[in-house]
Structure 1
Amino acid sequence: MKAGSLDRRVDIQRKTKATGVRSAGKGTWTTVAESVPANVQDMLPSRAERLAEGVSIARRPARVRMRYREDVTPDMRLQMGTRLMRIVAGPIELGRREGIEMVVEDYTAAGEDP
């Protein structure tokens, strides 16, 4: 994986479950790794809108590549500046532990913390 192609910086975050009866279903996002070099390529030239279960959700799929890491799992998310992206496919190993690739998408839903 060429260093010059990793032209963006992303933070990798994991959801931390809240404890207690009143905080059921809530949690916070904890940063696992900061400023990780990555290549982010949008898969569509513009935002796609769809209606899912009566809630408007904006999707913006992208392909993300970065150096090989064993600690990235599908239940994590990436943050690039103010852009939040959930992992929807992958991560998969590229080559012999040269890198990983995943498909992510931006999303916003009314009343839900991404």
Structure 2
Amino acid sequence: MSKRVVIISLLLCLIGLWGIWDVIASLLAGHLRFNACVLFLHPGCALLLGRPWARKHASWAFGFFYATTGIATFLALAGIGSGTADYFAIVVSLISLAVAMLLHWQLYTRPFDEYLAESPPAS
């Protein structure tokens, strides 16, 4: 297993754990809020275990993240004409989209192809 596979898989797990923490913290504060990053924990753990289907599950999670972040960016941009735009939210959304695209692209590099092509260990 290459360093790239380990780092990307652990980052996906950490993103998922952060999403879970955010949902729990919002529930403890008396709010009900879903964080799309929760969806990254399952593919991250499966990638660490070398499951071939994990890349497809991660792609679905990235697709959902792209859609929700894109909608949030669009809603923040909608306030530009009225002067109520939240430029900080726009910049954070675009940076998070760029980081997500980089992580998603890494899933289709040669180290991941070689790692997922190997047969998973017998359990």
TM (norm. structure 1) is 0.26
Q: Which has the higher strand share?
A: 1
Q: Which has the higher helix share?
A: 2
